[in-house]
Chain A
Amino acid sequence: MNQILVIAWREVSRLRKRFGGGASPLAVLALAAAVGFSAFTLRDTLSLGSGLYRVGVSGNVPNIQDSRFAVMEVSPEEGQALLAARAIDVWINGEVVFAREDDKSQYAERALKQYMEKSELRRIAETYPPGAAFPLRVSIHTSSGAAQSGAATPSDEVIIPSLTPPPAPFTQVLVALLYVLPITFISIFFTSSFMDEKMNRRLTILLSTPITPFQIIFGKMLPYATFSFFSIMLIAALTKANIALALAIFAPTTLFIFAIYLMVPLFYRTFKDVTFIAMLVTTLTTAYLVFPAMFTNVNDLAYISPLALAVKMYRGEGFGWREYLFPSVPMTAVFGFAMFAGTRLLNEEFLMGYKPITRKAADAIYLMMAHASPFWSVPLWSLLTIPVVYLTQVVFLAFAANLPVSLILMAILGASALVEEIVKSVGIVVLAQRGVITRWRDLFALSALSALGFLIGEKALLLISVQFVSQAKVSGALFGAGLLLLVPLAAHFLFVSLTSVLTAKAKFPYWLALALSSTAHFIYNWIILRGGQ
């Protein structure tokens, strides 16, 4: 523990040295916060469609203040001419609005309708007494089986239609995203810290001391993790949320982001690699966090993202343990896996080698597995990478949602078959290529173990998520639900051994063997899904 603190302190002083005098890191952070918040407030003013429409006004027209409209005063003749010449999209003459038949003008009219509705409401609210300005009250009731007796059911809420917008999680998702911003920002320094050690070749010295790689990683992470937790608490306090709850919701997310940024310095070869990998990671995690959360309360799959929990929190709605564990367990598991990978990979030879990225990945997998007997490491690998597979498949889901409907299912099935086959076979293939496994017997035995490990992990995940995903047929196919366990085990075994035998014995290139087994897996999935209908 002491050593971890020493490394953590060293990390803080490294940053202090980097940014000059004692106070300037704080100054920079304050600046960052100020800029971040100004950018955030900017989001409100910069709405969708900013500057797209031109409006001409003649006569007595309310003032239009909306970034979507560029307004100009025109005389009635000018207005008509400009509208006909397509120079303006809408012409407002007093209380009458003129538009053309073409799409652009029609879009402008709809946008204007939305704006005018709001501005008229403001006007009415200001000029008339509330009872006359908002005459309608709608009390909302729940139709329940017990309410057969008549209109005596108590109402859930009473709304005034023009003042009560229908519920949508948009704004809450944005607020929830605010929590993630400082974490991704601070992780730049976490990544840089390892790059620094690598550049100055100090890591060798550090590793020759009795400090373990785990202590190094943990020590370097400590200051940044502390910062992240403080920023979570601060944001929670500023937005008047429950601080402890916010911390509980975002702690797994924080660990997850650090896990991913730990991988960046381990794998990079040039600085450009770092930039690109870090960008990819940021985009994917943002997508992973935001996309499901938008559908909070619409689909239970939204709980894949912890932001959905935050949305719930901000609405003052409760959630149970199962809802909490559903996003948190995979994220924490990914963190655990990354820590393990980090401790294995933190050595001079691995860090310094300049190789194609695929070779580097193969080296990494070898280093992670080589310390134990393959009969332990192969099934364990398949078991422990399940959360990663799961997260990847969710990201695919977002990708595929953009395809034509008829292709969505095929694309998801194909992509997930590929990911699963890679995960199950890559360990065996790497070990075989390095001559650890040579015999046919071992190859088959390991394939069986890998299939078993994968299946156990898959089912364990299914156990957590079955309450949520059982309604969705697609996820059923992804995770192989509703089947006897032996059939998927045999199928997994078949596909893994196909890949490993083709690569290890028939000397096929790995991608080709993988393509063959993935195609087989895809066809299997397809048949299962057809049969299930």
Chain B
Amino acid sequence: MSAFFAVVKKELASVLRDRTIIIALLIQLFIASFSSALLLGMLSLYDADTILQFSGARVKVGIVGVESPLADFLRERGMTVTPFATLEEAQAEFFKNKVNAIFVTPQNPAEIQLYLPKNEAARALLRMVLQEPMKRYENFLRSERGIDVRYADLQGKPATSFEFMYSVLLPMLMFFPAFVAGSMSVDSLTEETENNTLQTLLSTPLSPSVMVSAKMTAAVFLAFAQCAAWLGLLSWNGVEIQNPIWILALAVLIAGSASALAMLGAVWLKDRERSQFIYSLALLAVAALGGALNVSPVMALSRLAIGDAFTSGWDVASYLILFAALYALVWKFAPRLVK
């Protein structure tokens, strides 16, 4: 047992000494900040709710022609609507920057014209914002023709940020360390085999299975530490996370499984190039398979974090079985290393 801990300690010490673990932390910080920046940017450009929330009254629409319910729909979305008698008048205001877009509503209510500025960015933004009132107007025309659109009055709050936080960012932060743990396991084993130090290591009172387990333990421990730190940081930032203990347990099990999967390849192939390649392929294959079978730790994790009523520790327990199976295989095949 003391030999086991000696190897764990050596692995952790070497990671700390090389300082490259800092890079892994940096990557995660980068991914987190980058993806939220991306989301923020996307929302402020491509999400009508967000745009209108911040600058709804500043979107000024001119309407020329007969009275139309379209004007009410535009006002209800918080835009400023100004009626004009002729298109010339409206365009004059447009060139004074008093109006951003002009609707022309002729006698035939089903054929309207929309005048937009030439600038592509402004055009895209206005199209985004005007989409929903135009759709409501379309529904209005449908109902006049006797077509009833169901569920049209649903409201609710914009959910993109919520969905992003719990189904993208949190799983990414929890499972990226697992992915790293697998790669680290491959590195630490193949480094011994390729530098021919494995024989020396195994001449100590240490069986191959125990040695491999020790290397895995070190990698998984690092993943655990990172996940715990992320959970702490997120809740410190005011993100509400339910079931943190189960989430951490799930993250550790996934890290353990990834590490075992990677080790299996490394024990088999004994060189870094092929092992890493096979490991990345295997990860992709497992993810695709999980998607096909509709089991995904990502979904389990999101549901645990939002406190879903039908998700509990038992969902985590199923990943314990996966880990145990993979680990048993590693334990069985590790003696191949000395052959």
Interface string of B18-39 (1 = CB under 8 A from A): 1111011011001101101110
Residues 135-161 of B at the A interface (beta carbon under 8 Å): 135, 137-138, 141-142, 144-147, 149-152, 154-160
CA of A153 to CA of B116 in the docked complex: distance in angstroms?
12
Distance between Cα atoms of A161 and B19 in the complex (Å): 55
- Could you count the A-B residue pairs with CB atoms below 8 Å apart for me: how many are there? 301
Q: Kindly state the separation between the CA atoms of A185 and B309 in the bound complex, as whole angstroms.
A: 41
- The interface on chain A, measured as residues whose beta carbon lies within 8 A of the other chain's beta carbons, has a size of 103
Q: Do A133 and B142 form a contact, CB below 8 Å, given A19-B274, A295-B45?
A: yes
Given contacts A46-B291, A51-B167, A272-B187, contact A161 B26 (CB under 8 A): no
Partner of A279, one of B23, B41, B95, B281: B23
In the complex, A95→B148 CA distance in Å? 12
Do A139 and B114 touch across chains, with their CB atoms under 8 A apart?
yes
**Does A31 count as interface, using CB distance less than 8 angstroms?**
yes
Given that A136-B141, A139-B113, A142-B118 are contacting pairs, would A271 and B188 also be in contact in the complex, using a CB cutoff of 8 Å? yes
Chain B residues contacting A337 (CB-CB under 8 Å) are: none
Taking a contact as CB atoms under 8 Å apart, the answer to whether A132 and B110 are in contact is no
Complex interface: chain A residues within 8 A of B120 (CB): 297-298
Which of A136, A170, A270 makes the CB contact (< 8 A) with B138?
Answer: A136
A51 pairs with B302, CB closer than 8 A: yes
Smallest beta-carbon distance B278→chain A, Å: 9
A111 CB contact (under 8 Å) in B19, B117, B163: B163
Closest to B290 in A: A42
Inside 8 A of B15's CB, which chain A residues have their CB? Answer: 272
Q: Which residues of chain A in 172-218 are interfacial with respect to chain B, using CB atoms and an 8 Å cutoff?
A: 185, 188-189, 192, 195-196, 199
Which A residues are CB-close (under 8 A) to B36? Answer: 402
Whether A272 contacts B115 by the Cβ 8 Å rule is no
Closest chain-A Cβ to B45's Cβ sits at a distance in Å of: 6
Q: Report if B288 contacts A (CB, 8 A).
A: yes
Complex Cα spacing A420 to B49, Å? 40
Q: Which residues of A contact B37 (CB under 8 A)?
A: 291, 398-399, 401-402
Q: Verify B121–A299 contact, CB threshold 8 A.
A: yes
Q: Is B217 in contact with chain A by the CB < 8 A criterion?
A: no
Complex contact B152–A120 (CB within 8 A): yes
**B163-181 vs A: 1/0 string, CB under 8 Å?**
1101110000000000010
List A contacts of B146 (CB < 8 A): 132
B317 within 8 A of A: no
Q: For B180, list chain A residues within 8 Å (CB).
A: 275-276, 279
Residues of A within 8 A of B87 (CB): 150-151
User: At the interface, yes or no: B111 with Cβ under 8 Å from chain A?
Assistant: yes
A112, B154: Cβ atoms under 8 Å?
Answer: yes
B27 close to A271 (CB less than 8 A): no
Residue among B116, B188, B288 making CB contact with A38, cutoff 8 Å: B288
Residues of B within 8 A of A298 (CB): 45, 120-121, 124-125
**Does B154 contact A192, Cβ atoms closer than 8 Å?**
no
The answer to whether B281 and A52 have CB atoms under 8 Å apart is: no
State the Cβ distance, A132 to closest chain B Cβ, in Å. 5
The answer to whether A143 touches B135 (Cβ under 8 A) is no
The residue in A36, A51, A167 that gathers the most chain B C-beta atoms within 10 A of its C-beta is: A51
Q: Does B60 contact A (CB under 8 A)?
A: no
Given contacts A109-B156, A151-B87, A270-B18, contact A103 B149 (CB under 8 A): no
A348 and B272 alpha carbons, distance in the complex (Å): 21
Cβ-neighbour of B115 out of A46, A143, A168, A399 (below 8 A): A143
Q: Are B95 and A145 in contact (CB under 8 A)?
A: yes
Q: What residues on B are CB-neighbors of A270 within 8 Å?
A: 14, 18, 20, 187, 191
284-326 of chain A: CB within 8 A of chain B: 284, 287, 290-291, 294-295, 297-299
Kindly identify which residue among A39, A52, A151, A155 contacts B306, using a CB–CB cutoff of 8 Å.
Answer: A52
Of the residues B23, B273, B309, contact of A189 by C-beta under 8 Å: B273
**Main DSSP-derived SS at the B contact region:** helix
Tell yes or no: B298 within 8 A of A by CB. yes
Rounded to whole angstroms, the CA-CA distance of A120 and B181 in the bound complex is 46
B310: Cβ under 8 A from any A Cβ: yes
Closest to B144 in A: A135
Q: Which residues of B contact A148 (CB under 8 A)?
A: 88, 91
The reply to whether A143 and B157 contact each other, CB–CB distance below 8 Å, is no
Q: How far is the CA of A274 from the CA of B144 in the complex (A)?
A: 66
Complex Cα–Cα for A97 and B154 (A): 8
Q: Does A108 contact B (CB under 8 A)?
A: yes
Q: Choose from A38, A103, A107, A135 the contact partner of B163 (Cβ within 8 Å).
A: A107
Whether A272 touches B166, Cβ cut-off 8 Å, given contacts A45-B291, A54-B309, A120-B150, is: no
Find out whether the CB atom of B303 lies under 8 angstroms from the CB atom of A272: no
Q: How far is the CB of A383 from chain B (nearest CB, A)?
A: 29
A490 CB–B CB distance under 8 Å: no
Q: Which of B126-134, B205-213, B248-256, B327-335 contacts A (4 or more CB under 8 A)?
A: B126-134
Q: Does B183 contact A (CB under 8 A)?
A: yes
Q: How far is the CB of B55 from chain A (nearest CB, A)?
A: 15
Nearest A residue to B19 by beta-carbon distance? A357
A269 contacts partner chain B, Cβ-Cβ < 8 Å: yes
By a CB distance below 8 angstroms, the chain B residues around A3 are none
In the complex the two chains form, what is the Cα distance from A162 to B124 in whole Å? 16
Known: A48-B167, A134-B138, A139-B113. A272 touches B20 (CB 8 A): yes
Given known A-B contacts A112-B156, A145-B95, A136 and B112 have beta carbons under 8 A apart: yes
Task: Report if A50-B288 is in contact (Cβ < 8 Å); known contacts: A113-B155, A294-B38.
Answer: no
Give the CA-CA distance A171 to B144 in the complex, in Å: 36
Specify which chain B residues have a CB less than 8 angstroms from the CB of A111 in the assembled complex: 156, 159, 163
Interface string of A325-366 (1 = CB under 8 A from B): 000000000000000000000000000000011000000000
Q: Which residues of A have CB within 8 Å of B147?
A: 124, 128, 132-133
Known: A35-B281, A297-B120. 15 other contacts (CB 8 A): A52-B162, A106-B159, A107-B159, A136-B134, A136-B141, A138-B113, A143-B116, A143-B118, A166-B131, A185-B280, A199-B195, A272-B188, A277-B20, A280-B27, A402-B34
15 contacts between A and B (CB under 8 A): A18-B271, A48-B163, A52-B167, A54-B308, A108-B156, A111-B159, A112-B156, A142-B115, A143-B115, A272-B188, A275-B183, A276-B180, A298-B125, A399-B33, A399-B37
